[in-house]
Structure 1
Amino acid sequence: MLDHCSISHKGGLVLWSRSFTPDAAHLASSSASPVNSLIREALIEGRTAEEKYEKDGYAVKWTFVNDLELIFVVAYQRILQLTYVNDLLAALKSLFVKYFEPFLTSFVASLHAISTAKVAANEVTSWNFVKAFDGWDTVFDKLLRGLEDRAAQDRKARLRTVARPAPEESTSPSDDQSTAPSLSSDAPHDEQQIARNVQALKNRLRGRGGRRGGGVSRTASRSGVDNVPTSDSESPAKRKAKTKTQRKWGDEPVTESDMASLDFSLDKNEASNGAIGSHDLQALVDQSSLGTRTRDGLYEVKDWEFSKEGEADKFIANALQPGGAKAAAPSGSLGTLGSLFARLTGSKVLSEQDLKPVLEGMKQHLMKKNVAKEIADKVCEGVGESLVGKKVGGFQTTNAAVRMALSTSLTRILTPKTSTDLLLSIRTKLSSPLPSSQQRMPYSITFVGVNGVGKSTNLSKVCFWLIQNDLRVLIAACDTFRSGAVEQLRVHVRNLSMLGVNGATDSKGRVELFERGYGKDAAAIAKEAIMFARDKDFDVVLIDTAGRMQDNEPLMRALAKLVSVNNPDKIIFVGEALVGNEAVDQLTKFDRALRDFSSASSSGKGRGIDGMLVTKWDTVDDKVGAALSMTYVTGQPIIFVGCGQTYTDLRQLRVANVVQAILND
């Protein structure tokens, strides 16, 4: 049974709606409505290619009529699995347009006139939808009743098919009755016969013939000699003891002086000569990558900029010139798209057949930009749905329509729903008023991700950025599994403590390491670190976690425990820019595991990924499709990208730059 059905204009006006239950009527009028959530989280973000949207136990499906700018929406309880919803949407769209097309055309034209200020805005109130759609309720009821009756008949037919006994099939005798007994025979067997059949089957699977005796050698068995002992059947007294002898590397044990000479991790006169080992301090900071200071004295990292600015727009414009498409179009995928766009000439209404080759070329282009195949399919389907039924005319109109649809779709997906200003979030928490009896908690950030993506390295880059903004940072070494993880963070802390802030030559006291060694509970260490930071007046706690694969359930449960116990302010997923299709699998399973396991281990709602940090960004040039894939999967923003080996190699992403790089050929 349906819960809600509505027909709306894309501008937000509801032309007709029907709720079938009191709960559905309440939900339809509230901000928590599944339909309102669909508009906020799917339609506005350009996720129009999804098969259905699920929210709070409801499933929502929809379809468009682009030329009339209409949205048809159906909501029902997810557990029901209604089979006729797709047919209902198709029939609704067809019948509603057939009955009321003249009224709808004039209504949409009046809205466009209002938006262009050609008529007064109060004229829109003169439309009487109840009177205009008189009789539609009867048509809808008849349509719905017919589809429900047909679904009920199909369900009864399936049940009769399942209940009907299957005809008996004759089984052919086995080729080898001695080694492959028929266990499915209807003839009664006594216990001895069953035991013999089972034993024969076991012997056949072992490949040892019809006799038992696992210690009989194959040579003896083939020659007809039974019970010939092999080396495995010899008594333990006759066997030689096979023990591994200890290897000796020297005549004398290693002394403390030997260990000291081999230890390169300790500080050795760094304060006196201004160097770290044999490396100059300046090698840790790339002056060309340093961020800028705002008027308020805040340190901001640089924006990532795409170097080939304007090339994509220039190319598409040249490719779509009459008679010049072949000369201007290279062998790239956008060149192919340009030639496909050129076919859509003249004034016409775009159909699915017209757009099919264009969308296929668009999908191949996105995949070449490292966009995951699943995401490329959905983006192209969404672009196609927004164009089907639109009237275009001439080269420039077609180019503008397709170009704007693709650019708009990418921009909607990449535009963050939440603020990416991490520094603002930190300062807001630290400056919020507290009761006099309550002690201020530090801002905590947890870094999670798979093995080897660069969590610890990029954590140190974020730490450098925080130190430059005069914040005291405590790094919690919660990777208690990987050998050298604590030592790696210790080196970073030592380096960061010697880099200057605002011209100073030393920043000791601004960053410290909190560690408890290896093999300990990471959740307990993180909790201790947060309490230590609270007592010592640290501003931020950066929690480093062990890398783990997204399919490893025990490790994902341990990570969810760390999240539920400590409730960090931000959970940042660290991923690679090179992963392509793997980004979808990694992020989906990380987010789902965190939400499921953290909600199961705590009374509150499960926590998911709050943002992403994409590493190795400097290795992909303009193939930045991983940003699109990651943002599409989670709906969360990319806060930073890592693009080098120094502490200043951190960048912010601008949506326009990413869209430009994706569209570039």
Structure 2
Amino acid sequence: MLDHCSISHKGGVVLWSRSFTPAASQTAGSSISPVNSLIRDALIEGRSAESQFEKDGYALKWTFANDLGLIFVRILQLSYVDELLAALKALFVKLFQPFLTTFVASLQTSSSASLKAASTGSETIFSWDFARAFEKWDSVFDNLLKTIEAKAAQDRKFRLKPSASVHTPAEASPPSDDQSTIPSQSNAATVDEEQIARNVQALKNRLRGKGAISGGARKGPRGGGGAGSGLDSVPGSDSDTPAKSKKAAKAKTRRKWGDEAPSESDMASLDFSYVQVDSPSSERTYTDVSALVDQASLGTRTSEGMYEVKDWEFGATSAANATAPDKTLTQADLAPVLEGMKQHLMKKNVAKEISEKVVEGVGEDLVGRRISGWGGTNTAVRTALSAALTRILTPKTSTDLLLSIRTKISESQSSMIGSTGKKEPYSIVFVGVNGVGKSTNLSKVCFWLVQNGMRVLIAACDTFRSGAVEQLRVHVRNLSMLGVNGATDSKGRVELYERGYGKDAAGIAKEAISYGKEHDFDVVLIDTAGRMQDNEPLMRALAKLVATNSPDKILFVGEALVGNEAVDQLTKFDRALRDFSAASGGAYGSGGGSGKERGIDGMIVTKWDTVDDKVGAALSMTYVTGQPIVFVGCGQTYTDLRQLRVSNVVQAILDD
């Protein structure tokens, strides 16, 4: 049974709707109806290629009439819904073409004309009487729905007849809706199943053969040379491989330090966090910290004194536009151009799945649209793709991290007036897979915060990786020596909170936030251990840290080098954090956790300088989460941090 059906304009005006159940009527009439959610969360964000949208237990499907800017939406999954939507669109447009043309033309007037009409009290688009204009449509829709439902029922009965003739009388049973969807088993299917079984058995034999080879020669009926062992099914197997491997392993030698423990001078020679300087005193000095700041990439200060990192810029050339006569675009016209666009996006490092959805959305937005004589199909697709990419990449939440920090500090200080309490520091957790550069980019963010007058505490919560604490210690030492606004150093502005290795990361983070509150720090940056997105125990441990400490921001650190992998990493990190943090909140809520579902709040994309114009990872990550990219890392110094402008990323993606 159909629950709800509506016809709307892309501008948000509902022309006609019909609900068939009280629940659907109540839901559709609310301010946050599934249709409104569809427009807000799917269509506006450029996700029109999604096959289905779910909201409040309802499944929605839609189709467009792009020449008139109409959206035809139905709620509830039915076998005949595609046919219903197609017939609905064709019949509605045919019956009310003159009225719709006049209505759409009125929406295209300039905003100044609309304001003038409102000031003079003349009729506006909100005074259109759609109920009167479409008063005959209800009966037409009822007849259309009855016709299609009757046809679907007849088709279902027809599908039941051949399936009943295949079964023997002993297997016969009363037909049902479930049985009608089960196709009869043909001889070809039987042959396919037998072939699959043979292939599976052959694969098992090959695997047994590989296991026998890797395990060495065996004797007896289960040995590697026995009949049916599967060794003969492994082409080119080398029985000497184990012996060669053992010889190669014996050839490797360990570093020999001597019979005695290394002396202090030996250890000092291996400490590369210092540099030896030629001087009479032969004393060690710190590394020249001026090399850690690239003056060419140093940010700028605003009139208010705020330090801003540079924008990442891309210089692209504009492509020449092809010309073609006036025409209405069809699917056949768009197919080759859209395929080329999909391949282009994939070359730009956009994940394959995201490329397909974006291109499909562009195609659905263009079918039926009339193009002008000055531009051809290529131009129309390029323009629509540019608009779609801009919608996807435009942040839905604020990317001004400094404003968020200062707002919390201001609110915390105002709440302390007349009390002896201390302000709550702003906490940021950095998460991601192994080796993407979480600690390095955390230190770049720390430099940016220090330049803006913040006191920063770095919490070393990677208690697993060897050298993780020492790495942060070197960063803190260097950052403490860098000047702020010409000052000799910034000592006291940056500190490290660490408790060594093998400790509970969630407990260390909690202690660090408490320490930051007691010692008047503005921001606590929490470094975490890298982990793979499929490792459930480690993801649960990360969710425990989030649930216990309720950080203000969770930033996912990912590489610009990955395409499809970025989607998988980000999707699973976000999903695991949401699932496990809500579950962990009940167990660890007494420690400060809210028990609320928490996901990724933003991204930092590292190694941005290695991809040139192949910046598709930014599109993939933003599409998956709907969250903004806060910074991109693009070098080896503390100043190599950039913020993204949507126009620059779109320009780089579209560049040929």
Amino acid at match of 2:311: D
Give the count of matched residue pairs: 572
Amino acid at match of 1:525: I
Structure 2 residue 627 is matched with structure 1 residue 617: no
- What fraction of aligned residue pairs are identical, expressed as a percent? 69
Q: Deviations over 1:348-376 (max 9, x none)?
A: 21111111111111112111111111111
Q: Distance in 2 between matches of 1:622 and 1:114?
A: 37
In the alignment, what sits opposite 1:480? 463
In the alignment, what sits opposite 1:454? 437
State the SS of the aligned residue for 1:651.
strand
Structure 2 residue 626 is matched with structure 1 residue 635: yes
Change (3 A) 1:165 1:264: closer
In the alignment, what sits opposite 2:66? 66
State the SS of the aligned residue for 1:622.
coil
Which 10-residue stretch deviates more, 604-613 or 286-295? 604-613
Are the equivalent residues in 1 in contact too, given 2:337–2:381 (CA < 8 A)? no
In the alignment, what sits opposite 1:199? none
State the SS of the aligned residue for 1:375.
helix
Q: Distance in 2 between matches of 1:529 and 1:606?
A: 23
Structure 2 residue 178 is matched with structure 1 residue 159: yes
Q: Which of 434, 445, 451 is equivalent to 2:415?
A: 434
Q: Which of 398, 402, 421 is equivalent to 1:419?
A: 398
> For the aligned residues, what is the CA RMSD?
3.5
Q: What is the correspondence of 1:163-312 to structure 2 with a 5 Å cutoff? A: 249=256, 252-254=259-261, 257-258=264-265, 260-262=267-269, 264=271, 277=285, 279-308=287-316, 311-312=317-318
Q: Which of 330, 333, 343 is equivalent to 1:364?
A: 343
- Displacement, 1:217? 9.0
Are the equivalent residues in 2 in contact too, given 1:114–1:120 (CA < 8 A)? no
State the SS of the aligned residue for 1:602.
helix
In the alignment, what sits opposite 2:361? 382
In the alignment, what sits opposite 1:139? 140
Q: Distance in 2 between matches of 1:439 and 1:19?
A: 55
Structure 2 residue 27 is matched with structure 1 residue 44: no
Are the equivalent residues in 2 in contact too, given 1:265–1:491 (CA < 8 A)? no
Structure 2 residue 525 is matched with structure 1 residue 542: yes
Are the equivalent residues in 2 in contact too, given 1:641–1:652 (CA < 8 A)? yes
Which 10-residue stretch deviates more, 34-43 or 398-407? 398-407
- Displacement, 1:657? 0.8
State the SS of the aligned residue for 1:40.
helix
In the alignment, what sits opposite 2:635? 644
Q: Distance in 2 between matches of 1:247 and 1:347?
A: 76
Amino acid at match of 2:423: R
- Displacement, 1:497? 0.7
Q: Distance in 2 between matches of 1:500 and 1:165?
A: 78
Change (3 A) 1:167 1:285: closer
Q: What is the correspondence of 1:14-29 to structure 2 with a 5 Å cutoff? A: 14-29=14-29
In the alignment, what sits opposite 2:194? none
- Displacement, 1:285? 0.4
Change (3 A) 1:101 1:306: same
Change (3 A) 1:165 1:298: closer
Q: Distance in 2 between matches of 1:146 and 1:276?
A: 90
Amino acid at match of 1:290: L
TM-score by length of 1: 0.79
Amino acid at match of 2:32: A
Amino acid at match of 1:130: A
Amino acid at match of 2:96: F
Which 10-residue stretch deviates more, 595-604 or 574-583? 595-604
In the alignment, what sits opposite 1:330? none
Q: Which of 583, 600, 617 is equivalent to 2:583?
A: 600
- Displacement, 1:419? 0.6
Are the equivalent residues in 2 in contact too, given 1:351–1:389 (CA < 8 A)? yes
Change (3 A) 1:165 1:83: closer
Structure 2 residue 473 is matched with structure 1 residue 490: yes
Q: Which of 624, 636, 661 is equivalent to 2:652?
A: 661
- Displacement, 1:115? 5.4
Amino acid at match of 1:630: M
Q: Distance in 1 between matches of 2:562 and 2:630?
A: 18
Q: Distance in 2 between matches of 1:611 and 1:157?
A: 50
Structure 1: which 5+ runs fail to align?
173-202, 208-212, 223-245, 321-341
Change (3 A) 1:463 1:22: same
Change (3 A) 1:32 1:295: same
Amino acid at match of 2:63: T
Q: What is the correspondence of 1:479-628 to structure 2 with a 5 Å cutoff? A: 479-602=462-585, 604-628=595-619
In the alignment, what sits opposite 1:88? 84
Q: Distance in 1 between matches of 2:483 and 2:430?
A: 25
Q: Distance in 2 between matches of 1:116 and 1:299?
A: 39
State the SS of the aligned residue for 2:51.
coil
- Displacement, 1:132? 1.3
Q: Distance in 2 between matches of 1:372 and 1:256?
A: 53
Change (3 A) 1:482 1:126: closer
Q: Distance in 1 between matches of 2:183 and 2:225?
A: 55
Which 10-residue stretch deviates more, 83-92 or 379-388? 83-92
Q: Deviations over 1:429-469 (max 9, x none)?
A: 00013253654221111111111111110010000000101
Are the equivalent residues in 2 in contact too, given 1:526–1:562 (CA < 8 A)? yes
Change (3 A) 1:652 1:161: closer
State the SS of the aligned residue for 2:485.
coil
Q: Which of 100, 104, 107 is equivalent to 1:104?
A: 100
Q: Distance in 2 between matches of 1:144 and 1:558?
A: 53
In the alignment, what sits opposite 1:336? none
State the SS of the aligned residue for 1:396.
coil
Change (3 A) 1:115 1:403: farther
Change (3 A) 1:276 1:643: farther
Change (3 A) 1:85 1:599: farther
Are the equivalent residues in 2 in contact too, given 1:454–1:615 (CA < 8 A)? yes
Q: Distance in 2 between matches of 1:69 and 1:163?
A: 39
In the alignment, what sits opposite 2:10? 10
Q: Distance in 2 between matches of 1:600 and 1:30?
A: 31
Structure 2 residue 375 is matched with structure 1 residue 396: yes
Are the equivalent residues in 1 in contact too, given 2:461–2:508 (CA < 8 A)? yes
Amino acid at match of 1:383: V
State the SS of the aligned residue for 2:515.
helix
Change (3 A) 1:532 1:111: same
State the SS of the aligned residue for 2:399.
coil
Change (3 A) 1:31 1:447: farther
Are the equivalent residues in 2 in contact too, given 1:7–1:72 (CA < 8 A)? yes
Structure 2: which 5+ runs fail to align?
158-174, 192-207, 213-217, 228-252, 587-594
- Displacement, 1:296? 0.8
Amino acid at match of 1:453: V
Q: Distance in 1 between matches of 2:477 and 2:654?
A: 43
Q: Distance in 1 between matches of 2:301 and 2:385?
A: 36
TM-score by length of 2: 0.80
Larger radius of gyration: 1
Are the equivalent residues in 2 in contact too, given 1:276–1:495 (CA < 8 A)? no
Structure 2 residue 450 is matched with structure 1 residue 467: yes
- Displacement, 1:507? 0.8
- Displacement, 1:23? 3.5
Change (3 A) 1:151 1:430: farther
State the SS of the aligned residue for 2:47.
coil
In the alignment, what sits opposite 1:176? none
